[in-house]
Amino acid sequence: MAVLLKSRQEIAHLREAGRLVAQTYEVLRPHVVPGVTTGELDKIAEGYIRSKGGIPVYKGYGARPGHNGQPGVPPFPATICVAINDVICHGIPSNKQKLKEGDIIGIDIGALYNGWVGDSCVSFGVGKLDEQSQRLLDVTYRCLELGIEQARAGNHLGDIGAAIQTYAEANGFSVVRDLVGHGVGHSLHEDPNVPHFGRPGNGLKIRQGMVFTIEPMINIGRPETRLLPDRWTICTADGSRSAQFEHTLAITDGAPELLTLP
């Protein structure tokens, strides 16, 4: 594992990219209402990112050829990933898919700005939520906060995962294990991988200068996942609802610095 430590100047560039992502959420927020299509949200996000000199980093990302009889993965076609209700992540926006009252939607945004990547995810409630869905959002956000608290030089990645797993399971929810946080820099995905489950004191030791995401995906039901035929959209295997929140952060000599704030 080759973890690229970032200098203060490089972290400043990453902060600019992260701020653009955070501002994009503020532009989107009033549009996350019943009746809007996910395609419309995608268009708004792309227009804003490009108007500020950024490039949507997800658009065209991830194409892979097939092998061993398995189909390949097409390039991701949109600016944002959308995750409605039982979708965990990587859902593709559509001009036919309308938000409905009571939905929850995770919107994942990545932007390249001056050669550096910002990456974040926010889950929104659409209109009035049922009690269980609101609790899912609240617990998932708290999982992110608890993970961030453990992201300090000298701790281990397992400390982050353990804090998230303990809180989620204590509240009757499960943690998705097939998907992890990741390092961020010039590329969207760098080392290290950051699991959202684990044991305290296990895993890679956290060092000053690391930059990575923490992005717990929490399910009402079981943690297992299934991949849809589009080769991108990942859903809960049991059809239960899922939520996600994500920040990119930099490890300092004290508390971590959140880079994806407006």
Over the stretch 37-60, which tens digit does the pLDDT of each residue have? 999 999 999 999 999 999 999 999
Read off the amino acid at residue 186.
H
Residue 29 within any structural domain of the chain: yes
Contact 119, 246 (CB under 8 A): yes
Using DSSP's 3-state secondary structure scheme, residue 86 falls into coil
Whole-number pLDDT of residue 237? 98
Count the domains in the chain: 1
Contact 248, 119 (CB under 8 A): yes
Calpha distance 65→252 (Å, rounded): 39
Q: Domain residues for 17?
A: 8-60+75-258
Measure CA of the first residue to CA of the last residue in the chain; give whole Å: 31
Identify the segments of the chain with pLDDT beneath 70.
Answer: none
Residue 1 within any structural domain of the chain: no
CATH assignment of the domain containing 92: 3.90.230.10
Sign of the dihedral defined by the CA atoms of residues 181, 60, 230, 47, in that order: positive
Whole-number pLDDT of residue 129? 98
Calpha distance 185→104 (Å, rounded): 30
Residue 70 within any structural domain of the chain: no
Residue 252 within any structural domain of the chain: yes
Residue 215 within any structural domain of the chain: yes
Other Cβ atoms within 10 Å of 214 Cβ, number: 29
Residue 16 within any structural domain of the chain: yes
Contact 91, 83 (CB under 8 A): yes
Whole-number pLDDT of residue 59? 97
Whole-number pLDDT of residue 67? 82
Using DSSP's 3-state secondary structure scheme, residue 72 falls into coil
For residue 102, the Cα-to-chain-centroid distance in whole angstroms is 21
Calpha distance 38→60 (Å, rounded): 18
Whole-number pLDDT of residue 47? 98
Residue 68 within any structural domain of the chain: no
Write down the pTM of the prediction. 0.97
Residue 186 within any structural domain of the chain: yes
- Specify burial of residue 143 (Cβ count, 10 A radius: 0-12, 13-18, 19+): buried
